[in-house]
Each structure stands twice: as structure tokens, then as C-alpha cells.
Structure 1
Amino acid sequence: MAANPKNIRTEECSSVNRSSYSASLTSSVLEYRHENGRRYHKFRNGSYLLSNDETENDRLDMFHEMCLQLLHRKLYLAPIEKPQRVIDLGTGTGIWAVDFADQHPEAEVIGCDLSPIQPTLVPPNVKFLVDDIESVKPGGWVEFQDWDGYPHSEDGSLDDTAILRCYHELYSAFDQAGYETRPGIKLEQWFKEAGFVNIRVEKFVIPYGVWPKDRHLKKVGAWNQAVAEANGFEGSALAVRTRYKNWTKEEVTVLASQARADGRKHNIHMLFNFYVVYGQRPEN
């Protein structure tokens, strides 16, 4: 599934109040919302509509591997040479933060998320916060990795398919709920509006499935399909459709099953655009 809200990397951040972690853990952070057989965060309830249970966590880790395949095993593209402090906003399972900490033991790595679902056995230079962090020190780099959520095809093979309907139904519900469904295409403008400089945009085309002839794209497409089939079709849609579109769980399951079947057809050549955008905060 293309939707994935965890995509912000920041380097050289300003100081962080670590006491917010322990304070948060004494409140609603450890409470969860359960519906339709899935678990959701209760801290800032409703601000994130995907689940935070083990099934979703497995999907996020698979998405991480897909990004590594896409970027040729690179965790980031920003020109960072000697990182000191790094923040992973929307860290999810913490897998990106842990990998970065392993590669850069000299850096302090902070993972921030709405849910305390990260592991406890991590490198000593990793800490996790349940909070919002927005400030970056002058000269620091910020990198966003995010989708244009809507799929497309170059040969019309996606037209009138269940999988296309699944995405339209999903994103119309997110639009109704007030969520941005095509962040990737807007990142560059957001960077400019925020005052960042030295902005660089990298656009990648990600296939769905193993139909590409190119070996690299075939691997990336295989991971994209695996991520969607693991939990994406149903997990990404369950809360938003049942809360905002009055669908039943069974209706979501049926459409997800039809989309999954379409995705396995080699004659449907579905593509997504994925953006990596990074920029630097001015010194002044």
C-alpha cells in the first residue's frame, strides 16, 4: 500500500527535552484503542488512522526494507558527513533509527512517535520519545521521504480494476477526514515555504509486483507488493473507512481481497511516484 506516514529524517537538531518521554508514559501513551480486531494509539487519539499492532509493525519493517532496496541500501540521501544529533520523526518500530545508530555510533539518535512500540534492546546511542519535535538548529539538514499516494499506469492496464477502486475509496476517505494523500508532490514547495535552502528533489518510480524486466525494479516491486499484502490493503483502510465512510469491516475485507487479487496479475502494471526531498535550514 502506498500510504505510509513515517517519512521525516532530521539531522543536527536542537536540544530535546527527554523528560517528555517519561512524562508521556504515565498518561494516555500506554492506553490503546481497539476496534474491528485491530489496535490503535490513544495518545492524541485520531491523529493517525493506521493501527499500531504487531501486524502493522511487521508491515512497517517490510516497508523499511523496500526503501533500502529502492535507495541501494542507503538510509538517507542528504549530504551528511559527521552526524551529531539525528531525529527520526514518526519512527514507528524504530528500525530506521536503530540502523542509523549502528552505522554512526558517534551520533545521538532520537526516534519520536505517537506510540511506544519500539524495542528496548537497542544501541546505546538511541533514545525514543513519545512527543512532537519540530525545531532544527541552523545549518541542520531535513529529509522527507514520502509518496504521491495515487497509483498510475503507463499503458492503461490499471483502468477499471478493483485495485484502482481500492485506492480511490481509501484516499477519498482520507480526504474527507482532512488528511493529505499526495504529500510527495508538495514537499518541495513546503520546503521553500518553510525557508529551507539547498533543496534537492529525487523522484523514484516504484512498481507494484514483479512484472518489470529491470532486475532492480523487480526487487523493489516485489517488496512493494509484499508490504501491501502483509497488511496494507486492509490495515490502511479499516479505520478511515469505518469511521468516515460508514463501511463495515466485512466490506473493507472484500474490497481488499479483490485488490490483492488484481495486484497479483502480471498484466496490470501499476506504478507509484516516491519522493526524497532534503534541504538545509539557513544559518541566519
Structure 2
Amino acid sequence: MEEAPPIVHGQRGDEDGDSGIGDIDSSSESDSTSVRSNTKDYVEENGRLYHADWIDGKYLLPNDEREQRRLNSQHDFLFDGNSLHKAPLQGLLNVLDVGTGTGRWAMAFADAYPDAEVTAVDISPNLMPIWPPTNCKFLVDDAEHFGGIGNKEYNYIHVRLLHGFRNPARFFRHAWEALLPGGYIEIAEFELPLKFHDQEKARDSALMTWSANVIEGASRLGIDLTIAEKISTLLKDRGFEGIEESISAWPIGAWPKKNERKELGVRLQEYWMETLTAFAWRPLREMDWHNEETQCLLAKMRTEICGKNIRASMHVRTFWARKP
């Protein structure tokens, strides 16, 4: 069996990013097989395993096997019968996948484009695969500050869930510096607050309570969960051109009447239960909720997801733009 590419650590620039972004440091065997020590520190809360940065509210989501299953389901729903990208890509590609999670997208892209070179980065090494394709390598680092982007190296940068960044404008500056002229950036983002077809009926629902309080709690931690509505402006301000967007609505529950949408809602039920639960704990803790209160909210929310009275949905917005 051909040896898989190593998982490597990033070479960090200065903390505020003003010095730009350096290259991946893989100059020695020890470097190529190591990660920064703080990327391997974990804490356990509420029966789940989290990255150590969860305490400070920097990284909201778990990084255990249950979270791996959720992320893999998310990939399946995002790309079910759809292209791996919406940006019009041509020719040989040097690709960066930011916030790769379990690496499903990065590996699928590497398989679909065997002449491409894919670099995938995430803060949690235990989410990453052991045997990626030979044209796909994984970098363990904090993508907001990491030193692996490079300078005018990439034709395409793929990003999911930009709301994890405290300073999205800085990230777009780094991405701009990393892209070759004519290169594309593409961002997929969930839009919050949740959408309700009957606001009055949903006013006292657990889902609306979740939406309002998780957004506020994350905001107190310096995380903007409503970033989707700002991405187009951020891209334009950075100088990107040809900005395009697509929106798809994912039903939360089996309430849609049309068979195709109803089937999607049924398939998404377990995913939404896992996703909304995963996002709840740290922001609600910041809102001074006790664990019992959070558990009660999550139980009510699961009942609503399995029912048809509260017609809620989450919009998935995808943006792509070109560096001139």
C-alpha cells in the first residue's frame, strides 16, 4: 500500500495576522508527524469530548466520534447528488479546504480531481482520516491564525461555517493573499436565525428559544452566528469580483407537504437533533443556563422536530467569488 501523506502542523505567523501567512513547515520527519500540543488537549463536558478551546468559547462544537458521524451526515446532505463545488474551476488545481472536519469533502475532491493537490486544515486532529488520498494532506492548526495558507499559492479555497472565526475580515484578507489571480473562494454557511413559516405560532417554541439564545450566547463569546448575511459584503470589501450566491432551504422536521421535501425533512430529523444539540451547550452556558434547563429545552426541541406543528427551516447559503 502506498504511504499516505502525513498530517502536519502549521507554522504560525504573528497572532494578529499582520505579517501575512507563511508556509507549511514539513522540513523534518518529526515535524511532519506532529501537531502543536494545544491541539491535542481535550475536555469532557455533558458526556461529550471537546477541544480545550471549548472552555474559552473559541471552538463551540464537540470533536468526538458522535460529532464525526454528524459531520459526515452533513457532508452527505450538502453534496447529495450535487457537485463538490459551484465555482467554475478549470485546469490544474492547488486547493485549500478550511475547516475540513472529518475531511470528507477534501478526500472526495482529491479523488474527483487526481491531478489536484489538496491541503485540508482543522483544529481537531482526531476528526481527521488516517488514510487520505495521496494527493491530499491534512494540516492541524487553528485556521483563524494558522501559517499554512501561503502566498499566491492556491487556485481555489473552500470554506464551511465561517462563523467559527472571530475576525472574518482578517480571514478574507489572508485568503486573498493566498489565492492566485483568477482563483476562486467558495463559502458554505448556515443562516441564522432559523426561518419559521408562522412566526406567531412559533413564538414560544423551543426552536425559536434555541435560535435566539444560541445566537446571543455565541455573540457574547465573540462569535457571529449570523455571519451568512454579511459574507457578500465582506467579499466585495476585500476586492473579490463576480460574487454569486445560491440558497437552499433544509426543513427541520417532516412538516413539508410535497413528497420530495417531506422525505428530505424525515432524513434530516436525526441530523438536526444532533446539530442543534451540539451548538447549544457552550452558548447557553454563556447565557447562564443550568444544564437541567438546557436538557429540558433540547427535549422539547426534539419533540418539535419530530412533529409538524412548528414549521421551521435552516437556509444554507453558498457564495463563490473570484480574485481578479
For Structure 1 versus Structure 2, the TM-score category normalised by the shorter chain is 0.7 to 0.9
Unaligned 5+ segments in structure 1 are 1-13
Query: What's the counterpart of residue 254 of structure 1?
Result: 296
Say whether residues 1:199 and 2:243 are aligned partners. Answer: yes
RMSD, aligned α-carbons: 2.3
Say whether residues 1:269 and 2:278 are aligned partners. Answer: no
Query: What's the counterpart of residue 14 of structure 2?
Result: none
CA deviations on 1:149-197 (whole Å, 9 max, x unpaired) are 2112233443321221122121111122121111221111111011101
Cα–Cα, structure 1 residues 85 and 266, in superposed 2: closer, same or farther, change >3 Å?
same
Query: What's the counterpart of residue 212 of structure 1?
Result: 256
- Taking structure 1 as the reference length, the TM-score comes to 0.85
Aligned mate of 1:47, from 30, 43, 58:
58
CA deviations on 1:71-123 (whole Å, 9 max, x unpaired) are x3221111113341111100011111111111111111111011112011121
Aligned mate of 2:266, from 186, 211, 222:
222
Aligned mate of 2:131, from 98, 103, 121:
121
What SS does the aligned partner of 2:107 have? Answer: helix
The correspondence of residues 1-284 of structure 1 with structure 2, limited to 5 A, is 16-19=23-26, 22=32, 25-42=35-52, 46-69=57-80, 72-116=81-125, 117-131=127-141, 132=146, 133=149, 134=174, 135-156=178-199, 157-229=201-273, 231-242=274-285, 244-282=286-324
Distance of 1:189 and 1:162 partners within structure 2: 32
More RCO (CA 8 Å, sep 6+): 1
* Alignment coverage as a number of residue pairs: 265
Percentage identity across aligned positions? 32
Distance of 2:267 and 2:121 partners within structure 1: 25
Cα–Cα, structure 1 residues 224 and 150, in superposed 2: closer, same or farther, change >3 Å?
farther
Distance of 1:121 and 1:23 partners within structure 2: 14
Counterpart residue identity of residue 244, structure 2: R
Q: Is the 8 A contact 2:216 2:283 kept in 1?
A: no
Distance of 2:114 and 2:53 partners within structure 1: 31
Distance of 1:159 and 1:172 partners within structure 2: 17
Distance of 2:135 and 2:69 partners within structure 1: 24
Counterpart residue identity of residue 100, structure 1: F
Q: Is the 8 A contact 2:102 2:128 kept in 1?
A: yes
Q: What's the offset of the Cα at 1:210?
A: 2.5
Q: Is the 8 A contact 1:234 1:253 kept in 2?
A: no
Distance of 2:284 and 2:215 partners within structure 1: 10
Q: Is the 8 A contact 1:66 1:223 kept in 2?
A: no
CA deviations on 1:188-213 (whole Å, 9 max, x unpaired) are 11110111011111122222122223
